[in-house]
C-alpha cells in the first residue's frame, strides 16, 4: 500500500515538474521564473534537512488537529442524533462556520491565541472538521433498523449500543472520510503557518515566496507530498486493522 | 407631393439622428484602435504609492502618447518580473531586491526609472518607552522583521553597519497584524512611511501615545525600493513605445505629486482605492512627495546608481544573491545619476 501511494505521488510530482521544465525550455524562460533541474537539485540538497524537520513539525500539528476534530465530530454527531431538530441545528451551525473563509477568521484566532501551536491546531481542526462532522452526523443519525429493532423490542437498547451498532455498520464509510479529511488537516495546518505562524513548512513556503524562489517551493512540495502519503497510508492501515478486528469479534 | 417630400425629409432626419451617434461611436472605436495597448503590472494593490501610475492613466497622459495602458494592481502573490518574462505585461514595478534576485538568475530585465528616491521602509517606535538616540541603542531591543522580506535585508545591513550582532537584539517575526506592537511586546515595528505610518500614527495619536520613526536611509543604509522595469527585448525592439510610456508615466507622477493638483490626485486615487478614507490619503500624499522628490532640482524618476550598488552589496553580503550581477548593466542609460 505504501509503495503504491509513494510511486503514484512520484508520478504526479515528476509529471508536474516535467511540465514546468517543458514550459521553461519551450518559452526560453530564465531560472527566475522556473528554476533549472540543476538549481532544483542544489536547493534540494541544501534545504532537504531543514525542510524535512519543518514538514515533520507540520505533520505533527496536522495529526493532532485531525485527532481533535475526529473526537469533536464524534461527540457532536452523537449529540446530534438525539432528535432531528438538534441534528439539523448542528448541521446549519457547521455550514455557517465553514462558510467563513479561514483567511478572514485566522487573524482573529491569532490575536486571541497568538502565533503558537494553539492557533495552528485550531485552524487545522477547523478545516478538516466540517466534512467529518457532516459524514458523522449522517452515520450516527441513520438507524440500522434490522439490528436496532431486535434490541429495542427486547428492551436492551442503550445509547452506547446504538452508537456502536451504527459505527460498526458504517465503518468503511467512516474510515474513508477520516482518510479523506487527513489531507485537509495537512492543508489547514500549512494555511495556518502561511498566514501567521513562525514554524512549519507553511512558514518556510511563505519565506520562499517572499524571495520568489520556486526551487525551494518545489522541494517543500515534494516533502509535503511524501509526508502526507505516509500519513494517509498509516490511516488506511489503522482503518483496515480495525475493520478486520471488528469482523473477527 | 409636398407631403411626400416632407415625410422623406423627416425620415432622413430621423435616420441622421440615429446614424450620428453610431458614427461618433465608430470613430471613437477607430481612435481607440490606433492606440498601442500595453499592460503595466504594479507591485502592490492600489494605494498612495501608485498614485502617479493611476494619474497618468486617468488624466490621459498615456493616450496622448498613443498608448492604451492597462494599469493592473499587484499584490503579495503577484510578481511583475515574472509577468514581464511570460509576456503578460510589458512594464512593471518591482523593488530592487526583486530586480537583483531576478537578474542573478538570468532574467532579461532593465530598470527604466526609480520611483522612490528614499526607501519608505521605516521602523515605528514609542520614544517615551524605547530610548533610541543612536543605532547602538538597538542593542537589547525587540525588533519586528518580516523574515524573507526586504526589511530583513535592510535591518541586517543596518545592524552590520553599526557592528551589532544578531544575539544583541531580539528579532520578532511580523505579519500584517500590528497587535504585538500595540500591546508593547515589540519595540520597533516595520512599516512604510507614506502608507501605513499615517494610519498607525493616527491610531496612536488618538490613544494619546507618542511615536517616532527609525529610518535606515537616514542611518546610511540606502536600499532602493520601487522601480519601473521592462524587458531587454522590449527596450531593443520597441524603443519608441518604451520612450513614450516612460515620458507619460513620469509626467503623470510629477503632476500627481504637484501640490497644485492635489485635489485631482486624491480623486483619481480614491476612485481606485475605495478602502482608504480621503483624510488619510491627504496626509499620505505629502509624505510620498518627500520620498519621491528629495530635491526640487532633481528630475523625477532618476536612477541612483550609488544606491543600487549599495543594494547589490547588501544582498551579496547576506548571500541573497549568489554573486555579482553588474548592477550598472541593468539600469537604462540616460536616466541614471
* pLDDT above 50 (res A197): yes
Tell me the residue ranges of DSSP E strands in A78-156.
none
d(C-alpha B68, C-alpha B92), whole Å = 15
Interface touch A210/B148, C-beta < 8 Å = yes
| Mean predicted confidence (pLDDT) in A15-42 | 95
Return contacts of A16-24, CB within 8 angstroms, 24+ apart: A17/A218
pLDDT 10s digits, A201-235: 999 999 998 888 999 999 999 999 999 999 999 98
Higher pLDDT, B61 or A119: B61
State mean pLDDT over A232-244.
86
- ipTM greater than 0.90: no
Closest residue in A to B173 (Cα) is: A198
CA–CA dist A79, B6 (Å, integer): 86
Contact A196 B147 (CB under 8 A): no
**C-beta of residue A122 within 8 angstroms of C-beta of residue A195:** no
Asked if the C-beta of A198 comes within 8 angstroms of chain B's C-beta atoms, the answer is: yes
Determine the pLDDT at residue B3: 47
pTM of structure: 0.82
Span B271-310, pLDDT tens digits:
999 989 999 999 999 999 999 987 776 778 999 999 999 9
Q: Which residue has the higher pLDDT, B295 or A119?
A: A119
Are the Cβ atoms of A207 and B148 closer than 8 angstroms? yes
**Tens digits of per-residue pLDDT, A30-78?**
999 999 999 999 999 999 999 999 999 999 999 999 999 999 888 888 8
Say if residue B309 is exposed, middle or buried (CB neighbours under 10 Å; 0-12, 13-18, 19+). middle
What's the pLDDT score for residue B137? 96
Neighbour-count burial for B116-140, b at 16+ CB within 10 Å, e otherwise: bbbbbbbbbbbeeebebeebebbee
Q: Which residues of B lie closer than 8 Å to A, measured between beta carbons?
A: 76-77, 79, 81-82, 85-86, 98, 101-102, 105-108, 146-149, 173, 175-177, 179, 320
SS3 B36: strand
Domain boundaries, given as residue ranges, for chain B: 34-117+223-330, 121-214
Mark yes or no for CB contact A33/B85 under 8 Å. yes
- Residue bearing cell 527604466: B112
Chain A hits for B107, Cβ within 8 Å:
30, 32-33
What is the architecture, at CATH level 2, of domain B121-214?
A: 3-Layer(aba) Sandwich (3.40)
**pLDDT at residue B2, rounded to an integer:** 45
Q: What is the pLDDT of residue B10?
A: 60
Q: Does the beta carbon of A116 lie under 8 angstroms from any beta carbon of chain B?
A: no
pLDDT at B156: 94
Which positions ≥6 away from B287 have C-beta within 8 Å?
Answer: B120, B193, B194, B197, B198
CA distance A29 to chain B (A): 7
Q: For residue range B195-240, what is the model confidence (pLDDT) as tens digits? A: 999 999 999 999 999 999 999 999 999 999 999 999 999 999 999 9
Distances from the Cα of A117 to the Cα of A72, A120, B243, angstroms: 18, 5, 53
Cα B132 off chain centre by: 29
A–B CB contacts, 8 A cutoff, strictly below: 55
Would the CB atoms of A33 and B86 count as touching at under 8 Å? yes
Cβ-Cβ contacts under 8 Å for B176 (sequence gap 6 or more): A107
Measure CB to CB from residue A206 to each of B79, B82, B148 and give the nearest one: B148
Three cell numbers, residue B69:
495602458
CA distance to A247, B32, B110, B227, B317, per residue, from B36 (Å): 73, 9, 21, 23, 43
Q: B34-117+223-330: which CATH number, 3.40.50.300, 3.50.50.60, 3.40.50.10490, 3.40.190.10?
A: 3.40.190.10
Radius of gyration in angstroms for the set of CA atoms belonging to chain A, rounded to a whole number? 22
* Residue to substitute from B177, B322, B325, interface A, most A β-carbons within 10 A: B177
What residues of chain B lie within 8 A of the CB of A211, using their CB? Answer: 101, 148, 320
For residues A192 and A100, the model is more confident at A192
User: Using a CB-CB distance cutoff of 8 angstroms, which residues of chain A are in contact with residue B148?
Assistant: 206-211
**Structural domains for chain A:** 2-248 (1.10.3720.10)
> Is some CB atom of chain B closer than 8 A to the CB atom of A109?
no
Q: Per DSSP, which regions of chain B are E strands? A: 36-41, 67-72, 91-95, 109-114, 121-125, 142-145, 170-173, 189-192, 212-214, 226-231
Reference B38, options B91, B103, B96, B110; nearest CA is B91
On chain A, the residues whose CB falls within 8 A of the CB of B147 are 207, 210
State residue B33's pLDDT score: 58
Report the share of chain A in percent with pLDDT over 70.
97
The pLDDT value given to residue B23? 58
Check CB contact under 8 Å for B175 and A196: yes
| SS3 state at B125 | strand
Task: List Cβ neighbours of A37 (8 Å cut-off, separation of 6 or more).
Answer: A21
Chain B residues in contact with A207 (beta carbon < 8 A): 147-148
The reply to whether B121-214 shares the fold of B34-117+223-330 is: yes
Please report the pLDDT score of residue B1 as a whole number.
42
Q: What is the pLDDT of residue A173?
A: 87
Q: Give one DSSP letter per residue of B197-224, joined into a string.
A: HHHHHHHHHHTT---EEE-TTTTT----
Contact B176 A115 (CB under 8 A): no
Which of the residues B80, B175, B181, B229 would you substitute to probe the A interface, choosing the one with the greatest number of A C-beta atoms within 10 Å? Answer: B175
Task: Tell me the shortest Cα–Cα distance from A232 to chain B, in angstroms.
Answer: 30
Q: Could you say which residues of chain B have pLDDT below 50? A: 1-3, 5
Residue count (chain B) = 337
- Which pLDDT score is estimated for A151? 86
Predicted pLDDT at B287: 95
Distance between B185 CA and the closest CA of chain A, angstroms:
12
Q: Please list the residues that pair with B214 across neighbouring strands.
A: B123
Residues in chain A: 249
A chain contacts of residue B81, beta-carbon cutoff 8 Å:
32, 212
**Sole residue written with cell 524587458:** B231
Using alpha carbons, select from B131, B129, B142 the residue that is nearest to residue B168.
B142
Residues of A in contact with B146 (CB under 8 A): 210
Amino acid at each position: 500500500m505504501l509503495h503504491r501511494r509513494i510511486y503514484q505521488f512520484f508520478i504526479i510530482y515528476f509529471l508536474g515538474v516535467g511540465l514546468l521544465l517543458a514550459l521553461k525550455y519551450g518559452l526560453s524562460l530564465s531560472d527566475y521564473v522556473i528554476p533549472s533541474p540543476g538549481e532544483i537539485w542544489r536547493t534540494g540538497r541544501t534545504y532537504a534537512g531543514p525542510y524535512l524537520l519543518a514538514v515533520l513539525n507540520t505533520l505533527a500539528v496536522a495529526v493532532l488537529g485531525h485527532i481533535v476534530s475526529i473526537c469533536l465530530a464524534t461527540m457532536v454527531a452523537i449529540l446530534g442524533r438525539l432528535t432531528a431538530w438538534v441534528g439539523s441545528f448542528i448541521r446549519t451551525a457547521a455550514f455557517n462556520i465553514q462558510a467563513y473563509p479561514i483567511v478572514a477568521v485566522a487573524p482573529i484566532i491569532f490575536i486571541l491565541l497568538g502565533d503558537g501551536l494553539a492557533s495552528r491546531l485550531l485552524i487545522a481542526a477547523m478545516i478538516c472538521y466540517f466534512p467529518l462532522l457532516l459524514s458523522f452526523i449522517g452515520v450516527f443519525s441513520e438507524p440500522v433498523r434490522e439490528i436496532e429493532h431486535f434490541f429495542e423490542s427486547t428492551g436492551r437498547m442503550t445509547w452506547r449500543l446504538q452508537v456502536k451498532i451504527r459505527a460498526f455498520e458504517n465503518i468503511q464509510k467512516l474510515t474513508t472520510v477520516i482518510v479523506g479529511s487527513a489531507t485537509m488537516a495537512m492543508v489547514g495546518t500549512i494555511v495556518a503557518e502561511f498566514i501567521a505562524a513562525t514554524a512549519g513548512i507553511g512558514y518556510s513556503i511563505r519565506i520562499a515566496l517572499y524571495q520568489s524562489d520556486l526551487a525551494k517551493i518545489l522541494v517543500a512540495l515534494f516533502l509535503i507530498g511524501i509526508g502526507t502519503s505516509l500519513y494517509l497510508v498509516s490511516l488506511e492501515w489503522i482503518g483496515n486493522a480495525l475493520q478486520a478486528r471488528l469482523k473477527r469479534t | 407631393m409636398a407631403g411626400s417630400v416632407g415625410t422623406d425629409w423627416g425620415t432622413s432626419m430621423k435616420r441622421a439622428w440615429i446614424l450620428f451617434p453610431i458614427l461618433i461611436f465608430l470613430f471613437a472605436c477607430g481612435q481607440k484602435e490606433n492606440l498601442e495597448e500595453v499592460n503595466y503590472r504594479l507591485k502592490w494593490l492600489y494605494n498612495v504609492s501608485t498614485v502617479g501610475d493611476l494619474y497618468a492613466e486617468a488624466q490621459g497622459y498615456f493616450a496622448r502618447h498613443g498608448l492604451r495602458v492597462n494599469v493592473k494592481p499587484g499584490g503579495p502573490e503577484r510578481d511583475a518580473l515574472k509577468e514581464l518574462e511570460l509576456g503578460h505585461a510589458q512594464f512593471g514595478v518591482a523593488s530592487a531586491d526583486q530586480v537583483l534576485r531576478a537578474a542573478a538568475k538570468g532574467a532579461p530585465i532593465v530598470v527604466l526609472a526609480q520611483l522612490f528616491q528614499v526607501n519608505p521602509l521605516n521602523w515605528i517606535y514609542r520614544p517615551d518607552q524605547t530610548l533610541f538616540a543612536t543605532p547602538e541603542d538597538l542593542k537589547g531591543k525587540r525588533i519586528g522583521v518580516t523574515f524573507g522580506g526586504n526589511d530583513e535585508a535592510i535591518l541586517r545591513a543596518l545592524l552590520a553597519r553599526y557592528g551589532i550582532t544578531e544575539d544583541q537584539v531580539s528579532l520578532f517575526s511580523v505579519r500584517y497584524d500590528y497587535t504585538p506592537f500595540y500591546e508593547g511586546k515589540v519595540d520597533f515595528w516595520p512599516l512604510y512611511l507614506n502608507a501605513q505610518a499615517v494610519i498607525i500614527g493616527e491610531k496612536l495619536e488618538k490613544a494619546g501615545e507618542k511615536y517616532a520613526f527609525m529610518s535606515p536611509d537616514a542611518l546610511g543604509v540606502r536600499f532602493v525600493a520601487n522601480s519601473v522595469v521592462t524587458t531587454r527585448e522590449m527596450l531593443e525592439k520597441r524603443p519608441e513605445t518604451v520612450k513614450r510610456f516612460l515620458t507619460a508615466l513620469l509626467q503623470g507622477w510629477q503632476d500627481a505629486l504637484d501640490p497644485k493638483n492635489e485635489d485631482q490626485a486624491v480623486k483619481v486615487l480614491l476612485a481606485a482605492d475605495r478602502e482608504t478614507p480621503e483624510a488619510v490619503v491627504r496626509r499620505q500624499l505629502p509624505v510620498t512627495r518627500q520620498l519621491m522628490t528629495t530635491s526640487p532640482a532633481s528630475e523625477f524618476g532618476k536612477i541612483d546608481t550609488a544606491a543600487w550598488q549599495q543594494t547589490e552589496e547588501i544582498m551579496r553580503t547576506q548571500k541573497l544573491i549568489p554573486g555579482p550581477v553588474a548592477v550598472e548593466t541593468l539600469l537604462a542609460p540616460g536616466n541614471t545619476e
